């Protein structure tokens, strides 16, 4: 469950809006015996994959009790000799064992702050906090990772509830130059795993493996990112298809490298990136978040271009002025689609007269 609305991506710096409310250790992979002191954990056979089993046991030996902050934890979990894959698995498995899903806080609307530091300190969080901590630990280990927001369904074929707003967060992580998907929240051994099953090797193994580096064709059955690029599919699945479970994974007519597409997006400047993503974000017919986000993105693009024209002359200046006018008009067209019960309506209502006056002014100056 997201406690902070992160719909704006890089525009969040412009629009601070919410829905609600070094001590270095030399830890090494050890033998196949746990030394955590927790008797329930000591007989785990975590993974059939020998490499993962070794890394899991290393991660479980790092208790964190004598570690002061996420940076120290990352150093303990990810010694220099670990590969990127081993570092990612170590972080993932430690979090799955040690971070508790805050069911009570969520149920009683008393959630703690979901920053990486707070989740590390409290050992407690929901999906936003899990994803923030995973992102931070990866950053300290020099692993590229991203916070992904979107829609999730706990059960494969359960569409009883209308999913109005993005309701979940997870991560993408880059290993050897390729992006992969994982959900450390759903991997939590403290979430939906009864105490009497805690030492059940099969259940623990399933939770760890079922949510780690899942192929995109499987991940899309339960996770739909708001930014379709992070589906990591050549042909993205639409929201209605996801909700109704009525889709087949499509092959593009021409070869598409999803990793090159993400590289292209991330090399755009912040406003062009937001505009690119807003134009392509999934459409949820139960809200107008896309229209709102697009309207704001077009407005900021017009403002960015306006700051460029001071020293320009001739045809080049005229072309930029036309582009400014077009972006202002696009912004108005999107924001005017919002109704009084839509998210962002009040902000859009206040902004529309400002955009209209700026559009009219730029047209007058160019006449």
Residues 6+ apart with CB under 8 A from 125: 99, 100, 101, 102, 112, 114, 118, 119, 132, 133
Residue 337 — pLDDT band, cuts 50, 70, 90? Answer: very high
- Who wins on pLDDT, 311 or 12? 311
DSSP state of 128: H
pLDDT 10s digits, 150-165: 988 864 444 455 666 7
pLDDT at 53: 85
CA distance 333 to 294: 10
pLDDT surpasses 90 at 259: no
pLDDT at 3: 43
Q: Give the HSE-up count for residue 12: Cα atoms under 13 Å, Cβ half-sphere.
A: 9
pLDDT surpasses 50 at 17: no
pLDDT surpasses 90 at 51: no
Residues 6+ apart with CB under 8 A from 86: 51, 55, 78
pLDDT at 176: 93
Residue 192 — pLDDT band, cuts 50, 70, 90? Answer: low
pLDDT surpasses 90 at 119: yes
pLDDT 10s digits, 30-50: 222 223 334 344 444 455 577
Please, what is the average pLDDT of the chain?
A: 78
pLDDT 10s digits, 220-233: 989 999 888 999 99
- Who wins on pLDDT, 297 or 203? 297
CA distance 126 to 111: 8
Residue 23 — pLDDT band, cuts 50, 70, 90? Answer: very low
pLDDT surpasses 90 at 188: no
pLDDT surpasses 60 at 107: yes
Region 334-360: mean pLDDT is 91
CA distance 109 to 364: 52
pLDDT at 286: 66
Dihedral of CA atoms 50, 52, 55, 59 in degrees, nearest 10, equals -130
Reduced to 3 states (helix: H, G, I; strand: E, B; else coil), residue 125 is strand
pLDDT at 131: 96
pLDDT at 31: 24
């Amino acid at each position: 469950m997201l406690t902070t609305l992160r719909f704006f991506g890089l525009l969040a710096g412009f629009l601070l809006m919410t829905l609600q409310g070094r001590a270095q250790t030399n830890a090494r992979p050890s033998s196949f015996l746990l030394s955590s002191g927790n008797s329930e954990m000591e007989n785990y056979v975590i993974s059939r994959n020998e490499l993962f089993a070794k890394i899991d046991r290393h991660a479980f030996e790092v208790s964190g009790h004598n570690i002061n902050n996420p940076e120290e934890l990352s150093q303990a979990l990810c010694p220099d000799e670990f590969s990127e894959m081993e570092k990612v698995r170590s972080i993932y498995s430690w979090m799955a064992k040690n971070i508790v899903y805050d069911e009570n806080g969520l149920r009683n609307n008393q959630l703690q702050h979901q920053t990486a530091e707070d989740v590390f300190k409290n050992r407690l969080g929901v999906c936003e906090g899990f994803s923030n901590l995973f992102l931070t630990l990866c950053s300290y280990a020099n692993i590229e990772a991203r916070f992904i927001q979107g829609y999730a369904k706990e059960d494969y074929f359960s569409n009883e509830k209308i999913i109005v707003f993005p309701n979940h967060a997870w991560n993408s992580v880059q290993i050897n130059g390729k992006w992969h998907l994982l959900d450390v929240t759903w991997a939590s051994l403290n979430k939906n795993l009864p105490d009497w099953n805690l030492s059940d090797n099969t259940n623990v193994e399933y939770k760890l493996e079922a949510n780690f580096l899942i192929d995109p064709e499987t991940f899309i059955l339960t996770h739909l990112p708001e930014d379709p690029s992070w589906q990591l599919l050549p042909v993205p699945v639409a929201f209605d298809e996801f909700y109704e479970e009525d889709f087949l994974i499509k092959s593009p007519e021409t070869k598409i490298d999803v990793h090159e597409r993400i590289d292209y997006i991330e090399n755009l400047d912040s406003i062009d990136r937001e505009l690119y993503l807003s134009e392509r974000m999934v459409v949820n017919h139960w809200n107008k978040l896309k229209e709102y986000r697009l309207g704001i993105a077009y407005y900021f693009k017009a403002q960015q271009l306006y700051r460029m024209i001071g020293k320009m002359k001739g045809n080049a200046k005229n072309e930029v002025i036309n582009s400014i006018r077009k972006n202002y008009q696009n912004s108005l067209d999107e924001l005017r689609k919002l109704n009084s019960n839509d998210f962002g309506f009040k902000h859009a209502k206040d902004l529309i007269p400002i955009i209209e006056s700026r559009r009219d002014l730029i047209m007058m100056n160019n006449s």
